[in-house]
Amino acid sequence: PAPEDDKPARAWIDQRGGKFVSFINGKFVTPGDKPTWFPAENPATGEKLGQVYQSTQKDVDAAVKAARAAQENWAALPGFERAKYLYAITRLMQKHARLFAVLETLDNGKPIRESRDIDVPAATAHFHHHAGWAQIMDDEFDGYEPYGVAGQIIPWNFPLLMLAWKVAPALATGNTVVLKPAEQTNLTAQLFAEICVEAGLPKGVFNLVTGDGKVGAMIVAHDGIDKLAFTGSTDIGRLIRKESAGSGKALTLELGGKSPYIVFDDADIDSAVEGLVDAIWFNQGEVCCAGSRLLVQESIYDSFVEKLKRRMQNLRVGNPMDKCVDLGAVVDKTQLDRITKLVDKAVKDGAEIYQIKDACPTKGCFYPPTILTNVEPSDEIAQIEVFGPVLSVISFRNQQDAVAIANNTRFGLAATVWTENINMALEMAPAIKAGVVWINSSNRFYAGCGFGGYRESGYGREGGKEGLYAYLKPSYLSTLSEASPRKRG
């Protein structure tokens, strides 16, 4: 079939002259003298989509200043007034859903089917959900107040969805925002900024600074920021924690993972195989909670792996604008090289590799879905986050053994348990040290559920009521009233 129509998205890019810049105090900035630009590329074709402005310290200062100036009035609005803006943003995201999806796919390389059916609807639902919270905020969170200005740094794997996870709770709770998208993926954040204008959001409530990690570091170091929220690699998360230590800024981190996908011998095998397609091959495996370690019970190991290999053969890798494609391109050449190196090393260390022959287009940043067997739990490939479509397979004897292997990493973001024995599933869930444990499913996200990690997967939660507390602190007024014998009415 013909690839999906990308003309409206191309026209949108052309209207902007292919230039993607910071959005500060309700306006896209005009870069000053001798600006630095870097290319925005389509990883599936190598085609240049436009150029992205590298923000300067001046821009970051201006963005923080605008966010500060807007914050008091924004927080002083009754919750139901903030809700109106969030509902308006939701409606406009729905209205422009198609444009969002195509831009996301052109920019990131993920299949249009995923951006259209998962990323954009989930991002929209997140704003809708948080509009509801804003509406009941004054009662539900009486005695709490916003931190103030939130500095938010996000990765490239779900550009719009990660924006939603950060921006929606911050705005609902009365914080204002300075957000930096990843340098690889800027397009949908630009469209989101336009929507904020269309929704009539007061100037300075949402600000966007474009640029690479250096701009991220400026946000982390800025005195005018009260709360930092970061999603990305464990290495940068660790650095941000160090850099912000002692600064008084509140911090939440959502980092890497090496999540186990555990299949017991009594599981519904066909469903477990299908679930795995979702767990490790969804979004080219560029998912922080990807089920990248398959733990299969010994007695079904051979038959399960055989079925899985057969299922993998049917996956289609290719042009992400073709809606029949299962895996698109990985985000860039750096990521492609990283995946290739890690897998080559694993094979050198003794892993057996299965890939679909000639699966990938010859041009563009494609990596085929990959199964590695003959892997030990302590091997590098079973410990390091690959962030690609690469599954390591390990066998286990019994329930105890499964828990021990599952917990044997530095991470603890997510896990899946596949069994028909509900008692065993309910024993497994608390025994696994992970922020979320899915039973007979995987990669399920709900705006109403807190998501976050144990150990080196980070701390703090995003989503649900827990996620809102990450943007609130006990207020001065409530401290006074708690101390006073005459409580506030």
- Closest Cα to residue 402, out of 412, 391, 390, 417? 417
Residues forming the site for ligand ADP (CB under 6 A): 153-155, 180, 182-183, 212-213, 216-217, 220, 232-233, 236, 239-240
Instruction: State the pairing for strand pair 260-263/458-459.
Output: unpaired
Of the residues 4, 41, 104, 288, only one is catalytic, namely: 288
* Structure-token match 């809700």, residue found: 83
Would residue 114 show up in a list of annotated catalytic residues for this protein? no
Which residue's beta carbon is nearest to the bound ligand ADP? 216
Q: Which residue's CB is nearer to ligand ADP, number 112 or number 153?
A: 153
Compute the distance between CA of residue 477 and CA of residue 489 in angstroms, rounded to an integer.
Answer: 12
One-character DSSP codes across 402-452: HHHHHT-SS--SEEEEE-S-HHHHHHHHHHS-SSEEEES--S---TTS-B-
Q: Which residue's CB is nearer to ligand ADP, number 50 or number 155?
A: 155
| Least distance to ligand ADP, CB of residue 215, Å | 7
| Least distance to ligand ADP, CB of residue 241, Å | 11
Of the residues 4, 41, 114, 254, only one is catalytic, namely: 254
Q: Which residue's CB is nearer to ligand ADP, number 244 or number 297?
A: 244
Q: Are 97 and 120 in contact (CB under 8 A)?
A: yes
| Least distance to ligand ADP, CB of residue 218, Å | 8
DSSP 201: P
Would residue 254 show up in a list of annotated catalytic residues for this protein? yes
Q: Which two tokens stand for residue 93?
A: 């995201």
| Least distance to ligand ADP, CB of residue 182, Å | 4
Q: Which two tokens stand for residue 16?
A: 């902007």
One-character DSSP codes across 326-369: SB---S-HHHHHHHHHHHHHHHHTT-EEEE-TT-S-SSSS----
| Least distance to ligand ADP, CB of residue 452, Å | 16
| Least distance to ligand ADP, CB of residue 8, Å | 27
Q: Which residue's CB is nearer to ligand ADP, number 232 or number 275?
A: 232
Q: Which residue's CB is nearer to ligand ADP, number 217 or number 347?
A: 217
Interacting residues of 228 by C-beta distance below 8 A, sequence separation 6+: 150, 151, 152, 153, 219, 220, 240, 244, 249, 250, 251, 252
Q: Which residue's CB is nearer to ligand ADP, number 135 or number 244?
A: 244
Residue numbers annotated as active site: 254, 288
